[in-house]
C-alpha cells in the first residue's frame, strides 16, 4: 500500500503482484495530517473496498514524521491495527534525494524559494541561445559537441602502464560509465527524464557523442532544453548541474559557482545518479545501500565535508539493511552464491518466531556493524529476518540447499517474483498526487472528489494507447 500528500488530500494506492498495476483507491481529506488521522483514513478506504487489513504486506511511504513516528506515525498505527509487523518500505527515491541534498548543502546554502536562482539563470541564458541557433542553422546540432566540458579522468587511469588499484574516483567513474552504457543499450526507460539523466552521465564521463554506434543506440548527442526545476526534487537539479558543467566553456559563472557545479556534477555522475536510477529495484536494495555507504566512506578522501554529510544521512535511513529487509538479497542476481549461502545459513541457524511484534525498524544495531571494512550482508540477519517468509507463507525448504539450485524450487521462484514486484518507490502515489491536482478541482463537492479522479484516471487509461492520428480519426 502506497500513499502521498497533496494539500488536504491523501491519495491511497494499492499495489499487487505480477502484472497487476497499482490501483488508486481514493484521496480522503485529512485536516491535521497526523499519523493517527492518516492511518484512520487508509483503513476507511480499505474498508470501502472490502480489502482485509490482514492482507497488507508492506507500506511504501516518504520518511516524514507523520509516517514514521515511533509512537504516532501512520505505519506504527497501521501495524497496531493489523496486530502484526509488516515491511516498512521507505521510498528509495526519497532516500536518495535526501542523501544528495545533504551533500549539496555542504557547498550551497539552502534556498528559501522553490527554485534555485542559478538554475533559473541558466535556463534564461540557454533558451534564447538555442532558438537563435536553430533559426540560423536548423540542421546543425546545438550545442556543438566540441564545446562540451567532460569529466577529466584521473592520471591513474590515463597513464600507461597502470600498476596497483585505481583511485576511488576512477573506480566509481568506470562503474558508472559502464552502467550508463548498458542502460542506453537496453533502452528500457520508464520515464524520459530517467533517460536524460543517464545520457547526461554517459556524455559527461566521456561516452561517444556521435550517433553512438559504440553502444548501439539509435540516438546521437542531444541536449534537451532545460525543463522543470524545483528544490523539492533533486533529480531535476542533477540534470541541470550536468548540463551546466558540460556547457561551462560557453556559459559564464562566478568562480564559486563554477567550483560548486564542477564538484556536484562529479557527485551526481559517480554517486547519486546511478544510485537514484537503480533505487526502484527492490531485491537489490540491501546491496545498493551497502555499496553506496562504502562508496561515500571512500569519497571522504575526495570531498570530506560532502561525503560526511552524505554518510550521516545514510545512517538515518538504514531501512533496507535492517533484519526484516536485508533478506531481499537472496533474490538479487548480482549477489554471489557464496554471499547468499552465508545469508541463508545465518537465517536457518535461527528459530523462526511465531509472532513478530509491530514496531519501527531499529537502525542502531545496523549502524554498529558498519565498520571500516565492508561486512557480509549475513551479519544483519536476526530472527526478525523470518518476517518476509511469514508474510508470504511459502515453503522455505530451499534455504537448506545450495543457491545454484534455488531457481529449481517453485517456492523460491514464487517468492523471487513477489519480492521483485514489491514496490520500494512512491512513484504510483506521486502519480496519484498529480491526478488529484488535475481532477480534484473539477467538483466543489468533497464527497465526489474520488469519483471524479477515478473517472479521469479511467479516461486516461482508455486513451493512453492511442496515437495522434487515431484521435484525428475520431474527431
HSE-up of residue 47 (Cα within 13 Å, Cβ side): 8
Number of domains in the chain: 2
**Residues contacting 466, CB < 8 A, separation 6+:** none
- Domain-located, residue 6: yes
On whether residue 181 sits in a domain, the answer given is: yes
The residue among 258, 280, 302 that closes a domain is 280
Q: At residue 26, does pLDDT exceed 60?
A: yes
Residue 329 within a domain = no
Kindly tell me if the per-residue pLDDT of 439 is higher than 70.
no
Within 10 angstroms of residue 40's Cβ, the number of other Cβ atoms is 17
This prediction's pTM: 0.88
Residue 381 located in a structural domain: no
Report whether pLDDT(242) > 70: yes
> By the 8 A CB rule, do 419 and 331 touch?
yes
Q: Which of 378, 367, 387, 272 is nearest to 319 (CA)?
A: 367
Tell me: do 125 and 228 sit in the same domain. Answer: yes
Domain match, 267 and 172 both: yes
Q: For residue 114, is pLDDT > 60?
A: yes
218 pLDDT more than 80 = no
pLDDT of residue 15: 84
Same domain? For 175 and 61 the reply is no
Q: What is the pLDDT of residue 303?
A: 96
Residue pair 93/425 in contact by the 8 Å Cβ criterion: yes
Asked if 36 and 126 sit in the same domain, the reply is: no
Q: How confident is the model at residue 460 (pLDDT cuts 50, 70, 90)?
A: low
**Does a structural domain hold residue 372?**
no
What pLDDT shows up at residue 212? 45
Do residues 58 and 166 share a domain? Answer: no
Cβ 366 vs Cβ 321: under 8 Å: yes
Residues 50 and 169 in one domain: no
User: Within this chain, do residues 141 and 234 fall inside the same structural domain, yes or no?
Assistant: yes
Q: Which comes out higher in pLDDT, residue 312 or 113?
A: 312
Task: Please write the tens of the pLDDT for every residue from 177-195.
Answer: 999 999 998 888 888 889 9
pLDDT of residue 281: 95
The per-residue pLDDT of the chain, averaged, comes to 86
pLDDT of residue 210: 55
End residue of a domain, out of 280, 306, 331: 280
Q: Residue 6: pLDDT band by 50, 70, 90 thresholds? A: very low
Distance, CA of 287 to CA of 284 (rounded, Å): 6
- CA-wise closest residue to 142 among 124, 121, 127: 127
- Does 26 share its domain with 162? no
Measured CA distances, 448 to 27, 51, 402, 444, 454 (Å) = 10, 21, 55, 8, 10
Whether residue 259 is predicted with pLDDT greater than 60 in this model: the reply is: yes
467 vs 50, more confident: 50
> How many residues would you count in the chain?
475
Q: Which cell numbers in the block locate residue 295?
A: 562508496
323 Cβ contact partners less than 8 Å away, ≥ 6 residues apart: 380, 381, 382, 383, 384, 385, 387
- Determine if the peptide bond prior to 143 is cis (ω within 30°): yes
Q: At what angle do helices 74-82 and 35-48 cross, to 10 degrees?
A: 50
Evaluate whether 442 touches 452 at the Cβ level (below 8 Å): yes
Only one residue has cell 496519484, namely 432
Each residue's pLDDT tens digit, 363-416: 999 999 999 999 999 999 999 999 999 999 999 999 999 999 999 999 999 999
pLDDT reported for residue 163:
63
Residues 170, 259 within the same domain = yes
Indicate whether 51 and 126 sit together in one domain.
no
In angstroms and rounded to an integer, the radius of gyration of the C-alpha atoms of the chain is 24
- Same domain flag for 171 and 242: yes
pLDDT tens per residue across span 287-302: 999 999 999 999 999 9
Measured at the CA of 59, the angle between CA 420 and CA 101, to 5 degrees, comes to 85
Pairing outcome for strands 23-26 and 58-61: unpaired
In a domain? residue 393: no
Q: Which residues pair with 16 in a beta bridge?
A: none
Task: Show Cβ contacts of residue 8 under 8 Å, excluding neighbours closer than 6 positions.
Answer: 29, 30, 31
Is residue 87 pLDDT above 90, yes or no?
yes
Kindly state the average pLDDT of the residues 430-456: 63
Q: What is the pLDDT of residue 213?
A: 46
Domain with 172, as residue range(s), is 114-280
pLDDT of residue 402: 97
| Full DSSP string of 386-409 | GHHHHHHT---GGGGS-GGGGGG-
How far is it, in rounded angstroms, from Cα 347 to Cα 368? 20
Residues 182 and 76 occupy one common structural domain: no
pLDDT, residue 5, reads 47
The confidence score (pLDDT) of residue 386 equals 98
Per-residue model confidence (pLDDT) at position 463 = 59
* Amino acid 423: pLDDT: 92
215 belongs to a structural domain: yes
Point out the domain boundary residue: 237, 255, 280.
280
pLDDT of 234: 87
DSSP string, 295-325: HHHHHTTT-HHHHHHHHHHHHT--TTTSHHH
Please check whether residue 223 is in contact with residue 134, taking contact to mean a CB–CB distance below 8 angstroms: no
Residue 350, domain member (yes or no): no
Residue (of 406, 351, 339) closest to 379 by Cα position: 339
Region 467-475: mean pLDDT is: 58
Output the nine-digit C-alpha cell for 218: 539509435
Residue 230, C-alpha cell as written in the block: 524545483
Amino acid at each position: 500500500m502506497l500513499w502521498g500528500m497533496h494539500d488536504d488530500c491523501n491519495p491511497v494506492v494499492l499495489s499487487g503482484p505480477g502484472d497487476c498495476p497499482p490501483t488508486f483507491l481514493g484521496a480522503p481529506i485529512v485536516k491535521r495530517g497526523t499519523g493517527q488521522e492518516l492511518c484512520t483514513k487508509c483503513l476507511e478506504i480499505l474498508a470501502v473496498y472490502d480489502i482485509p487489513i490482514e492482507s497488507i504486506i508492506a507500506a511504501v511511504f516518504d520518511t516524514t514524521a507523520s509516517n514514521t513516528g515511533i509512537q504516532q506515525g501512520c505505519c506504527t498505527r497501521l501495524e497496531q491495527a493489523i496486530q502484526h509487523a509488516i515491511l516498512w518500505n521507505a521510498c528509495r527515491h526519497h532516500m536518495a534525494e535526501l542523501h544528495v541534498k545533504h551533500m549539496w548543502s555542504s557547498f550551497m546554502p539552502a534556498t528559501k524559494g522553490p527554485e534555485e536562482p542559478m538554475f533559473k539563470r541558466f535556463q534564461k541564458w540557454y533558451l534564447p541561445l538555442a532558438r537563435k541557433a536553430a533559426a540560423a542553422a536548423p540542421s546543425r546540432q546545438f550545442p556543438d559537441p566540441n564545446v562540451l566540458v567532460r569529466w577529466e579522468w584521473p592520471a591513474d587511469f590515463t597513464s600507461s602502464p597502470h600498476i596497483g588499484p585505481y583511485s576511488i574516483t576512477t573506480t566509481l567513474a568506470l562503474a558508472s560509465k559502464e552502467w550508463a552504457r548498458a542502460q542506453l543499450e537496453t533502452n528500457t526507460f520508464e520515464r524520459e527524464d530517467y533517460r536524460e539523466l543517464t545520457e547526461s552521465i554517459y556524455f559527461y564521463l566521456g561516452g561517444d557523442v556521435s550517433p553512438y554506434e559504440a553502444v548501439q543506440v539509435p540516438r546521437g548527442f542531444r541536449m534537451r532544453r532545460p525543463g522543470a526545476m524545483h528544490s523539492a526534487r533533486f533529480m531535476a537539479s542533477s540534470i541541470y548541474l550536468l548540463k551546466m558543467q558540460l556547457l561551462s566553456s560557453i556559459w559564464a559563472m562566478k568562480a564559486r559557482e563554477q567550483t560548486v557545479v564542477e564538484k556536484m556534477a562529479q557527485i551526481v555522475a559517480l554517486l547519486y545518479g546511478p544510485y537514484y536510477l537503480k533505487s526502484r529495484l527492490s531485491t537489490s536494495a540491501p546491496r545498493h545501500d551497502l555499496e553506496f555507504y562504502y562508496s561515500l566512506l571512500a569519497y571522504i578522501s575526495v570531498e570530506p565535508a560532502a561525503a560526511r554529510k552524505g554518510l550521516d544521512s545514510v545512517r538515518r535511513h538504514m531501512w533496507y539493511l535492517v533484519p526484516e529487509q536485508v533478506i531481499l538479497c537472496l533474490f538479487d542476481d548480482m549477489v554471489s552464491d557464496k554471499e547468499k549461502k552465508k545469508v541463508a545459513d545465518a537465517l536457518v541457524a535461527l528459530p523462526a518466531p511465531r509472532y513478530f511484534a509491530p514496531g519501527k525498524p531499529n537502525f542502531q544495531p545496523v549502524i554498529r556493524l558498519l565498520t571500516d571494512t565492508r561486512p557480509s550482508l549475513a551479519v544483519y540477519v536476526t530472527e526478525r529476518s523470518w518476517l518476509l517468509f511469514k508474510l508470504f507463507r511459502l515453503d522455505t525448504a530451499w534455504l537448506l540447499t545450495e543457491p545454484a539450485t534455488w531457481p529449481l524450487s517453485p517456492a523460491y521462484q514464487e517468492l523471487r517474483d513477489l519480492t521483485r514486484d514489491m514496490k520500494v518507490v512512491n512513484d504510483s502515489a506521486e502519480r496519484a498526487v498529480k491526478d488529484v491536482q488535475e481532477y480534484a478541482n473539477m467538483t466543489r463537492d468533497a464527497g465526489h472528489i474520488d469519483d471524479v479522479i477515478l473517472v479521469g484516471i479511467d479516461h486516461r487509461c482508455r486513451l493512453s494507447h492511442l496515437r495522434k492520428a487515431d484521435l484525428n480519426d475520431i474527431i
